[in-house]
Structure 1
Amino acid sequence: MSDSSLLVIGAGVAGLLAARDLARAGRRVTVLEARDRVGGRIYPISGGGFSAPVEGGAEFIHGDAPLTRALLREAGGTWHDTAGRNYQVQGGQLREAEAFITEMPRLLQALQAVAHDLPLADFLHQYFGGAGNAELRRQVTQFAEGFDLADLRRASTLALREEWAGGGAEDSPRPAGGYARLLALLTRQCAAAGVTVRCHAPVHTVRWQDGHVRCEGPGGVFEARQALITVPLGVLQAPPEAPGALRFDPELPGLRAAVAALGMGAVVKILLEFDAAFWAAPDAPRPAPDLGFLFAEAAIPTWWSQQPDPRPLLTGWLGGPAASAATPPDMLLTQALASLAGIFGVPEAEVRRRLRAHRVLDWGADPWARGAYTYPTVGGAAARQVLATPVADTLFFAGEALYEGAAGGTVEAALASAVAVVPQLQ
């Protein structure tokens, strides 16, 4: 074991980028990954009856995302704007929707008046109480839970103000062909820099003392001078006896308190490819031509197409507290098909008959993720600072949960956290 040895736990984009840069700086880096693949919550899926690869995890680029776009360009990839019309279902009627939140200017004006942070639920009660604001409260709640995956009782009003004012939800292009190019680039660059990546190597215990780390798990025992831990926040929040949990010996009470103060949102993502875009047919009971995004009061409330790609693929999205219940995949599929049948006025049997491929991904039930991405909480900045502080120059942390800024919960946040931690380890 040389003084340059470093273990990176987790082969998501934060772990891969940090490993690449540290190996290029002369560190001897081994990446330990629990899964049989790299990428973490970026999950390109091929096969399974789908006519082309689909994205089981991250799918969009939110906001400026300079690091994400630079890597995509370096990989020879491009991106394209989302297209199509937005629809909503209200009172059983399917109609076009102008915006996610129709009164966003009034909402932002009220948000600008907030001087001290408070939970978003309290903000809505104080500023938009009463029956006359019921629809605005409903839209804000649906958006905060569905897009940000937030528990409104904990979510930071000031942080969401910064995010929403930046328009990150409206500016959400897709990488052409998905994120596979970016992952392939980082994997090649890690190999060229001499990084060893070991998949099927989950770590259940990190034993440490000043200047020495021993990682133990079913895949073996690995030792190094330092460790960079890039697992998702949900894994750090899990109790020690839970599947996929990470235990520290000696324990880190400050770390446990910090991760408990942060918010990890659950998501169920359902990918459905049909024989044709039946929802777009002119003679459909409730036609939705050129469908981009759709919002409904249904078991699976949010849907989107691949526009401008005409592929008859719909993605269902259930996010936030509603996605936290442990529901079997076959039941989630049934709920998804029933939701589409109700939205478009088509018999559920016909929707099922036209289905050609499907995949249900419950990220909250995944032991190596335990959620999809983080949301900002009141007091979260202090907790992130605890995570960003190295432990005895031996244990370091990175990942989208540590990011501070308007791009929280994104691929960009994960990359930015890796860029921030690298100088501490060079």
Structure 2
Amino acid sequence: MAISDVDVAIIGGGAAGIAAARRLRDAGLRCLIVEARSRLGGRAFTAADPSGFAIDLGCGWLHSADRNPWSDIAKAQSYVIDKTPPPWARQSLTFGFSAAEQRDYRKASHGFYQRLGRAEQHSDRPASALLEPGNRWNDLIVAVNTFVAGAELPDVSAHDLARYDDSGVDWRVTDGYGTLVTSYAADIPVAFSTPVHRIDHSGLRIRIETATGVVSADQAIIAVPTSILSDDKFFKPALPEKAEAALSLPLGLDDKLFLSLDHAEEFEKDSRMFGRIDRTGTGAYHFRPFGRPHIECYFGGTLAHELETNGEAAFFDFASSELAGLLGNDFAKRITPIRVHRWGVDPFARGSYSYARPGQADQREVLARPVNDRLFFAGEACSRGDYSTAHGAYLTGVAAAEQVLAIRR
């Protein structure tokens, strides 16, 4: 017996699913978000520190903010947007990384991205092939790109990385990106704590089989991570093309640790440093985001996997060691862990955001393609140029909703 009978079921209540549901709801369709978690937002997840400050454990930046639809939504809902330039747009703190070294690094990084811009003139290959052999800064370039892709450059398609479309305008929402995304779902029906086991599209109506019963729908929009779609038992009949595309677009891993910082005023607001500049396994440390007494620590790729394996305490131990190495042993007494979220072991994410394996960049279009005008797909992994972002997810969610509306007219 169906627990719900709707026009359109949306599987996944992240940015893509919420955007799709809002468009369909505004068009007058009966829709339902079927969400495995007890909350909305997916990989947009805002928590609070002990003082009540919002901390984004998932996506945190309105990337390409001048064309990001979430910017307009934030303004319409009267959220405060902080337009302070991001720390990566300015010189880093010079502890362990002199101004001269930073200039040299930026020159090497600029050369890498220039070569990347020409990548599609040649057959696809690992993005690491575009590094200058023997360049002193290759390890740091790779480290920084783990923050972009969640994986090391040898595993990442040069074509896919070259297609990433960034306007260079980056803002933040004071109350949290996750707060913004979830608030956009106001008045949309949601089935919480309802993991989907299988989507049966063999009959006249689609049956979404869940832990609590069946949702019946004419169409379904699937807005879940590729880590879920790669399971060839997720659909009945199976959709091997989708499973293959998902496997070609795995989720990389990036995790954040927030620290409280005593006597934070010693550091410039929104300043940054790297833990090490001579290895790929290092953290990036953002001091006083929004002027708050925090350090936002960022770990990507293989390093993030290793830290997750060793538990939450490993993140603090690693950050404390790197920061003490730069700022002196007494600095460790000034920091206290607030919170970390391990996205790799999160059962409903299993990673942070997608990257394409070498030779697989075109699988994003395959993943986004509808099936029999009944199953539609959305999510950051479906975006050619805005993957890994909440606005990429939003745009694919709206696109999927428009496809549904077009076939129902």
TM class by shorter chain equals 0.7 to 0.9
- Cα contact 2:379–2:394 (8 A) shared by 1: yes
Deviation at 1:19, TM superposition (A): 0.7
The corresponding residue for 2:76 is 74
The corresponding residue for 1:160 is 161
Deviations 1:53-100 (A, max 9, x none): 2111111111233312111111112422236664367xx835454597
Query: What's the TM-score once normalised by structure 2's chain length?
Result: 0.86
Quick one: which amino acid aligns to residue 240 of structure 2?
P
Query: What's the TM-score once normalised by structure 1's chain length?
Result: 0.83
Deviation at 1:402, TM superposition (A): 0.1
Deviation at 1:339, TM superposition (A): 2.3
Quick one: which amino acid aligns to residue 327 of structure 2?
F
Task: Please give the residue correspondences for 1:86-165 in structure 2 after superposition, counting only pairs within 5 Å.
Answer: 86-87=91-92, 93-96=96-99, 97=102, 101-114=106-119, 115-116=121-122, 117-124=124-131, 128-129=132-133, 131=134, 133=135, 135-163=136-164
Deviation at 1:415, TM superposition (A): 0.8
Match of 2:38 among 36, 40, 53: 36
What SS does the corresponding residue of 1:17 show, helix, strand or coil?
A: helix
The corresponding residue for 2:237 is 250
Deviation at 1:256, TM superposition (A): 1.0
Quick one: which amino acid aligns to residue 341 of structure 2?
L
Task: Please give the residue correspondences for 1:151-230 in structure 2 after superposition, counting only pairs within 5 Å.
Answer: 151-163=152-164, 166=166, 168=168, 171-188=169-186, 191=187, 195-230=188-223
C-alpha separation in 1, matches of 2:14 and 2:249: 20
Deviation at 1:291, TM superposition (A): 5.4
Does 2:336 correspond to 1:336?
Answer: no
Task: Please give the residue correspondences for 1:222-371 in structure 2 after superposition, counting only pairs within 5 Å.
Answer: 222-237=215-230, 239=231, 247-277=234-264, 281=266, 289-290=268-269, 292-297=271-276, 300-307=282-289, 309-325=290-306, 326-347=309-330, 351=332, 353-371=333-351
Deviation at 1:289, TM superposition (A): 4.3
Q: Which runs of 5+ in 1 are unaligned?
A: 241-245, 282-287
Deviations 1:349-385 (A, max 9, x none): x62x444551111111111111111124444443122
* Structure 1 residues 99 and 186, CA gap change in structure 2 (3 angstroms): farther
What SS does the corresponding residue of 1:141 show, helix, strand or coil?
A: helix
C-alpha separation in 1, matches of 2:303 and 2:317: 16
Deviation at 1:408, TM superposition (A): 2.3
Quick one: which amino acid aligns to residue 107 of structure 2?
T
Deviation at 1:412, TM superposition (A): 1.0
Percent identical = 29
Deviation at 1:335, TM superposition (A): 1.9
C-alpha separation in 2, matches of 1:367 and 1:257: 20
- Cα contact 1:209–1:394 (8 A) shared by 2: no
* Aligned residues: CA RMSD: 2.7
The corresponding residue for 1:9 is 11
Number of residues of Structure 1 aligned to a counterpart in Structure 2: 390
What SS does the corresponding residue of 2:184 show, helix, strand or coil?
A: helix
* Structure 1 residues 180 and 322, CA gap change in structure 2 (3 angstroms): closer
- Cα contact 1:235–1:367 (8 A) shared by 2: no
What SS does the corresponding residue of 1:358 show, helix, strand or coil?
A: strand
